[in-house]
Every structure is written in structure tokens, then in C-alpha cells.
Chain A
């Protein structure tokens, strides 16, 4: 009778090297000391991870000391420390760089600081408050930490770490670290993806293109403007390797990935409106009342030149397509009747899909027909403000069937929205 040997059988199926716990050299004196997490299937509640992930941490050796760049998720600390110990003694560590405080990278930080208390912690000028809140439960606060920003450097002896201030990729504290002598960018989550493959290098691992795109779409897309600013800092660098905090180390054609980020951060729809402002009007309507309002809003908005207005029935498409439109639009108005004391579900589905995009500075507005209590418009406006839309024009409600004078009001409302869009930013404060 064959004896089941589940553990051994599983080991045999694992790619080579996954349990060797040895550091992997990525350049002379630079080692990957991270951890592989092949079994993870969901990340941050918002991503699915068919291929698991890796938490990439790195050790850089200079003549005068060793720098550790990022750590790993707490329950993988054992792998991280084993790999780190294979390339240095804790006493040699002079610098710990924290590119990002999210627990998937800072999980082993308190223990690392216990083992290397002499190390100076370098983090973004946006990080200290968060660091304190994160380490509240741990009893270690770094003894020496210094905040760094673009242009600051740490000399390890023949190896210099320079910092790039790249906030909101995808937390306020994120930064990148550049090892100039070797052209290596330790980028943090940027250029990363959830793809666990112990062959580590992008020219060796399986096809991870889907994961790269998916990671951008879910983690970086909401911060498009910040991505573009970070790329302004990164593109001029001499680069031989991009070493992100998740997924493959990009040593083959690293610039291709930077180029791809630039494409992804550039508006995806050709803007045929040219210099015009764009206003999208969405509506839902059971009996045509809110629809008639929407049409009047459009008519009113179109009386101003310089604004291109588009009208859509929200029932017609999945929210994702409209999210793409809103990402490129200057403003949008949302019309919903009140049904059972609320706006209708497609409205909330659309609004809850907007966390995927950057809405800073966009204009929002709400309108709708109602029967007796009319809650929807205020609820939508409230949500728009919560999402940080500008809501300069108060919402418009009409009881049941709009009269011709109420339709006139809808036109005025549309015209006001258009006017708020074409008012130059420098005059908005007094105009609103």
C-alpha cells in the first residue's frame, strides 16, 4: 500500500530554490533577501493573486556598511532574516531604508531594529506619523531615524543611495531609492506585481504581463498624477535594474516597464474635445421624469461654448466603461430618482467604482425627480463631496413630472455647471 506523503509530494512540485532561504545576488554586493508567498490568493482586499506574490527586500553592501531596503510581511520574517544572515551580520547594518510602510514591507521592521539597533532608518518626509502609528504595538521605536527627500544621499562607502520623493504610490509615505553606481532603482510597489516565481528575474520567470497590468490598474491608477510626477524623476536615471517590492526583478529591458507606466499614466482616450471642457450627464429613469431633466441639463449646458456635453443612460453599460470616461472628463452630473428613500443601485455602483481613478479637481453634481420625500439628490451630493469632487452648484430636485418652468430650471442648472467648468481656476474661489 502506498503511503501518502503530502509534504514531500508538495515540495517536489515547488520550483527549485523556493525553500533554500539563501539570498539571491542581483548585482555585485546587492542581494535579494525577500520572501516568496506562493499561496496568497487575495491582497489588500482589492486584488486577487492567482500566482501568489513575493515581498522583495534587498541588502546593499558598501565598504563602510550594509543597507537593508524594506522588509517583508510579518509571518515571512523567518525567511527574510535567514536570507539576510546569509549575506551580512546585523552589526554591519548601518542603514535601513523604508520605501513604504505598508505591513507587507514593514512587517519585519520592528524585529530588524531590535537586531540592528545601531541602524539609521531613512524614510520619506511623509512617513514619521505613520511609522509611529504602525509601530505602536511593537515596543521598538527606531532610535535614530531621519527623513529624506529627493536629492538626499546616504554613503555606504563606494555605494551611494539616493532618494526620490514619490508620494502616493500608493500611500503618502512611498519613496524610491536609487543606487547610482550600479544603476539600480529600488522602486517599492511601483513597477511591482503579484507574481511569485522563485526564478526571480524577469528574463527567467513565467509570463507575468497580466499581473503587471492588473497591479497598475488596481494599485497605481488612482494616483495617476503622482505616477506621472514620479516618472519625471525616474526617466532621466541611468538604469540597469528596476528592483520593485513585489514580483520579478526587472533586469532585462527595465526601461520598457517605465515606458509602459508612462503610457498607462497618460490619458487613455484621445481627447477629441480639444481645448473644450467635457461634461458628462448620467441618468436613470423609470418613467422618464429624470430623463427629461437630464436632457434639459444637457440643453442648458450646451448653450455655453467651450463645453462638450454628453448624455448617457446609466442602465445601458457596466460602470467600468463610464469610469474610463469620468477619468478623462472635467465634470459629471448624476441624475437619479428617489426609490425607497435612496438613489438607485447603479448610481452607487458607479460611485463606488470611482476609487479606481484620480478625481481631484473634477466637478460633480446631482439631480433627480422624486415623489414625496426625495432623499436621492442630497445623498448623492453628500457622497460626491466625500469622494472629494468639487460640488459648486447645489443639486436640483423636481417633484414627479417636470413642468416647463422646471425644465427651464434644469437648463439653468446645466448652464451653471458649464459655467463652473469654464471659469478659470484662478477665479473659482470667488465665483463658487
Chain B
């Protein structure tokens, strides 16, 4: 199964997870500082900065895109409860 390497820069933890995993599932387990509310891509609480490897995340859905737009999120930001890893290296940190 394809794997991706995700780094949570705030706690300095890197781990390898299967493709398809959402960032929030991992951040929760390692105690990274990404907060969340609805986990359904609506509340915007899990806004996360992608420091590098944005291309290794599945493209945002229409819903996520809308929430990012409504939050005036700068480029390179994603919702951790929506963003799924595809492979390669990804570095993120809480906003």
C-alpha cells in the first residue's frame, strides 16, 4: 500500500501513514497542536498550514474550498480533517 511521511513541525514528530489517511487522524494520535471541532469540513477550526509537500495532499473538495475561501485562508492552508495524504513527504503545522 502507498505510504506518506507526515511531519508535524510544532511537536517535531514525523511518521509514516497509509495513503488516504486524513491529517487530523494522525495529529490527534501524536498530540500535535492542530485543534478541531466538527471533523466534517464545516467549522474551519482545523485550519492548518502546509509548510511543504502540498502537492502530496489530495485536492480540496468543493466544501473545503468554500470554507478556506470564507476564512480568507492564505495559500498553502488546508483543513486537517479533510486533507488526505497521497504519498511522499508532507510538513504541516497548526495555525
Tell me whether A and B are bound partners: yes
Q: Does B41 contact A (CB under 8 A)?
A: no
Residues on the A chain within 8 Å of B21, using CB: 429
Contact flags A347-385 to B (C-beta < 8 A → 1, else 0): 000000000000011100000000000000000000000
**A129 with B70: CB separation less than 8 A:** yes
Q: Which residue in B25, B30, B95 is a CB contact (below 8 Å) of A425?
A: B30
**B28 with A125: CB separation less than 8 A:** no
**B30 with A426: CB separation less than 8 A:** yes
A-contacting residues, B71-86, CB 8 Å: 71-74
**B95 with A125: CB separation less than 8 A:** yes
Q: Does B91 contact A (CB under 8 A)?
A: no
Q: Does A248 contact B (CB under 8 A)?
A: no
**A167 with B95: CB separation less than 8 A:** yes
Residues on the A chain within 8 Å of B44, using CB: 129
**B72 with A147: CB separation less than 8 A:** yes
Q: Does B51 contact A (CB under 8 A)?
A: no
Given known contacts A129-B44, A167-B95, A172-B45, is B29 in contact with A429 (CB within 8 Å)?
Answer: yes
**B15 with A426: CB separation less than 8 A:** yes
A-B contact number at CB 8 A = 64
Q: Does B17 contact A (CB under 8 A)?
A: yes
Q: Which residue in B26, B67, B70, B74 is a CB contact (below 8 Å) of A429?
A: B26
Nearest A residue to B28 via CB reads A390
**A128 with B30: CB separation less than 8 A:** no
Give complex CA distance A428, B16 in Å: 10
**B47 with A126: CB separation less than 8 A:** yes
**B13 with A426: CB separation less than 8 A:** yes
Given known contacts A125-B95, A168-B35, A425-B15, is B70 in contact with A361 (CB within 8 Å)?
Answer: no
**B70 with A128: CB separation less than 8 A:** yes
Give complex CA distance A362, B71 in Å: 30
Residues on the A chain within 8 Å of B15, using CB: 425-429
Give complex CA distance A426, B94 in Å: 18
Q: Does A225 contact B (CB under 8 A)?
A: yes
Given known contacts A425-B13, A429-B15, A429-B26, is B31 in contact with A125 (CB within 8 Å)?
Answer: no
Nearest B residue to A424 via CB reads B13
Nearest B residue to A225 via CB reads B33
Residues on the A chain within 8 Å of B26, using CB: 429
* Number of interface residues, chain B, beta carbon within 8 A: 28
**A360 with B73: CB separation less than 8 A:** no
Q: Does A139 contact B (CB under 8 A)?
A: no
Give complex CA distance A426, B30 in Å: 7
How close is B34's CB to chain A, nearest CB, in angstroms?
9
Residues on the B chain within 8 Å of A129, using CB: 43-44, 67, 70-71
How close is B49's CB to chain A, nearest CB, in angstroms?
9
Residues on the B chain within 8 Å of A428, using CB: 15, 29-30
Residues on the B chain within 8 Å of A390, using CB: 28-29, 31
**A126 with B95: CB separation less than 8 A:** yes
Q: Does B52 contact A (CB under 8 A)?
A: no
Q: List 26 A-B contacts (CB under 8 A).
A: A125-B71, A126-B47, A128-B72, A129-B43, A129-B44, A129-B70, A129-B71, A147-B74, A167-B94, A167-B95, A168-B35, A172-B35, A226-B33, A361-B32, A388-B28, A390-B31, A425-B13, A425-B15, A425-B29, A425-B30, A426-B14, A426-B30, A427-B15, A428-B15, A429-B21, A432-B29
What are the 3 tightest A-B residue pairs by CB atom distance, in nearest-first order? A361-B31, A425-B30, A426-B15
Q: Interface on A for B, CB 8 Å cutoff?
A: 125-126, 128-129, 132, 147, 165, 167-168, 172, 225-226, 360-362, 388, 390, 392, 425-430, 432
Known: A426-B13, A430-B16. 19 other contacts (CB 8 A): A125-B71, A125-B73, A126-B47, A128-B71, A128-B72, A129-B44, A129-B67, A129-B71, A147-B72, A167-B94, A172-B35, A390-B29, A425-B30, A426-B15, A428-B29, A428-B30, A429-B15, A429-B16, A429-B21
Q: Interface on B for A, CB 8 Å cutoff?
A: 11, 13-17, 21, 25-26, 28-33, 35, 43-45, 47, 67, 70-74, 94-95
